[in-house]
Amino acid sequence: MTAIKRVMMAAAGQGGDPVYVEDVFSTWLYKGNSSTQVITNGLDLDEFGGLVWGKSRTLTARHTLTDTVRGATNALGSNITNGTVVDPAGVTSFSSTGFTVGNDSNYNNSSHYYASWTFRKEAGFFDIVTYTGTGSAHAIDHALGSTPGCIFVKNLSAADDWKVYHKSNTANPETDYLVLNTTAATVDDATVWNDTAPTATQFTVGTHSDVNTSGEDYVAYIFADDDESFGVAGNESIIKCGSYTGDGAAAGQQISLGWEPQYVLWKPTNVAAIWNVYDIMRGWDVGGNDQYLFLNTTNPESDLENGSPNADGMLMLGNNSNISARDYVYIAIRRPMKVPESASEVFAIDQGDGTGGSGVNAFTSGFPVDWGFFKSNSVQSWVTSTRLTQGKELNFDVTNAEGSASAMAFDYMDGWYNNARTTAFYSWMFKRAPEFMDVVAYTGTGSAHTEAHGLAVTPELIIIKNRDAADAWAVYNSTVDETDYLVLNTTAAVVDDATFWNDTAPTSSVFTVGTNVAVNTSAESFIAYLFATLAGVSKVGSYTGTAATLTIDCGFAAGSSFILIKRTDATGGWYLWDSVRGIIAGDDPYFLLNSTAAEVTDKDWIDPHASGFQLSNEASNLVNVDGSEYIFLAIAAI
């Protein structure tokens, strides 16, 4: 099915299930075991086919490209000219949920760590074509369903260079080529693409031996550009192939994509320079060093600040990605875009077990964590960090600026935190997802302005902290009003102050910050956590206390796993309950987010209820005071 046909069928009610970026692309990290290892990334390579591109993060080793068209164990290297390299212990098989690797050290050495990027074949995203050269210029059919944005071609029979077509490589890209396995700048040569631009059904090769020697076999990896045929309505893009010219600005240059990327491959074209790849799983964060790999070398992973993703695209900065007068091309792939159907997809709680460190996450979630926080059940500060700010930490209970902490690591598929934590510690973990929760890192301007977010619905709860200064944690809640704010690190009641949200309610695409230093100091860095109500998953709401048993209906089916409550009309703490420590008919342990205090275990203030939760009459003096106003965030059972 072409991308165009998929949209037409869906619009006509003739089937054609929505396709999301999660269905066709995955970055998967793993530790080698020097044996057989099954990688379950959720991509169906059995039915659809695709490409697995792997690289050791810690070992000097070649890149490995194995695809379903040429077959398992038949590899290529993006950094070498070799034809097919037979790796019997490399990628040994493909499946409906991923692939399997053997014990070849390029893929699976027990002393090393690995990254894999899987591209599933799909109209509007990616295609693989093999062909036999004729020696004469000719057109080759493809099934991308739209005009390619980038094409990699490799001779499988001989030691020839990889030739690269990119739609933004000069004003007439069909006349030029790049070389994937070298640093070479753009070359003008009519014999590669025959000076013929690709179409939605074909691309053309000329007479150059690297792309068309008579009788020799070739593979082409074909990437789409901005094909808006994805998502629930079939009108969103998930991949863009573009270009920009560096301006050398110290603050970086914003590249607008219309969405937030999770992966970017880029190269300068008018000078000899390296091919770079970044992704959010290994670490592509805001205001810190980013983990990068070079596609044309065997180098292990290294780090350097080169920019960051954001809700509208990516900020490119630093010594490599925004050099003045350099022309760059890129391939960017969108971050996950599915709306979750259950709370367990995006929220988890875990108790420490004494493990962690040496590449082992201390807290397990079952999904990649985007925001996590933890606390001991004794007297201790809260500790929190995000994937966008990994390597740094904040504390809910104080105003302190962000501090460095190498243990704040998120390069795990199923948890976070690289340090041992005993059973005294608990962690609460969140995954960003449309309509549920988002994290936005931004730089203040000192003037009221809007910041883009990726929640796709209007935020109902926003928590903001200045990362660079000792300012209060500012909280917006839709049931209180955009003219007011709360403070997470204190018990203070709601305060009316236009300088926080500029008396402007957020929308489904932006939120507004005023001139208050806690949310918008010029040139200082901020982090914002956004929540919304998602049916059956989360509820941001309010209630009025009764001093009697009070049922809070969140629309859930099996109760709540997480409950956060704050009184707004008078002083009161930020009370947190969860189902792991106990939301039961008896005493329910709670923490206070605004306090270092130990867990309180002897109060029966809250009880389970299928639709949400219940407040008991025993809570009449704090979280159920008759006539008093409260806000809450609840997450459904996991």
Residue 145: is its pLDDT beyond 90? yes
Rounded Cα–Cα distance for residues 481 and 495 (Å) = 10
pLDDT the model gives residue 12: 34
> Which residues of 418-460 form beta strands (DSSP E)?
425-430, 437-443, 449-452
**Strand-by-strand arrangement of the 327-334 sheet:** 239-245, 327-334, 261-268, 276-279, 290-294, 302-304
pLDDT the model gives residue 318: 76
| Structure confidence by residue, pLDDT tens digits, 47-85 | 999 999 999 999 999 999 999 999 999 999 999 999 999
Residue 10: is its pLDDT beyond 60? no
Residue 7: is its pLDDT beyond 60? no
Query: Mean pLDDT, the chain, as a whole number?
Result: 96
Residue 227 near residue 237, CB atoms below 8 Å: yes
pLDDT the model gives residue 4: 54
Summarize the confidence of residues 526-530 as an average pLDDT: 98
pLDDT the model gives residue 3: 59
Residue 133: is its pLDDT beyond 70? yes
Cα–Cα distance list, 131 to 140, 142, 156, 181, 206 (Å): 8, 11, 10, 21, 13
Q: Where are the domains of the chain?
A: 20-120, 126-223, 239-334, 343-430, 437-531, 538-636
DSSP 8-state assignment for residue 526: E
pLDDT the model gives residue 2: 47
Residue 331 near residue 265, CB atoms below 8 Å: yes
Type of residue numbered 241: C
DSSP 8-state assignment for residue 269: S
Summarize the confidence of residues 517-522 as an average pLDDT: 98
- With a pLDDT cut of 90, the percent of the chain lying above it is 95
| Structure confidence by residue, pLDDT tens digits, 400-444 | 999 999 999 999 999 999 999 999 999 999 999 999 999 999 999
Rounded Cα–Cα distance for residues 395 and 401 (Å) = 9
Widest Cα–Cα separation across the chain: 86
Residue 211: is its pLDDT beyond 80? yes
pLDDT the model gives residue 16: 75
Residue 142: is its pLDDT beyond 60? yes
Q: Tell me which residue of 154, 146, 147, 189 sits closest to 170, measured CA to CA.
A: 189
Summarize the confidence of residues 567-583 as an average pLDDT: 98
Q: Tell me which residue of 555, 368, 554, 346 sits closest to 455, measured CA to CA.
A: 346
| Structure confidence by residue, pLDDT tens digits, 93-130 | 999 999 999 999 999 999 999 999 999 999 999 999 99
Rounded Cα–Cα distance for residues 367 and 348 (Å) = 9
pLDDT the model gives residue 11: 42
pLDDT the model gives residue 279: 98
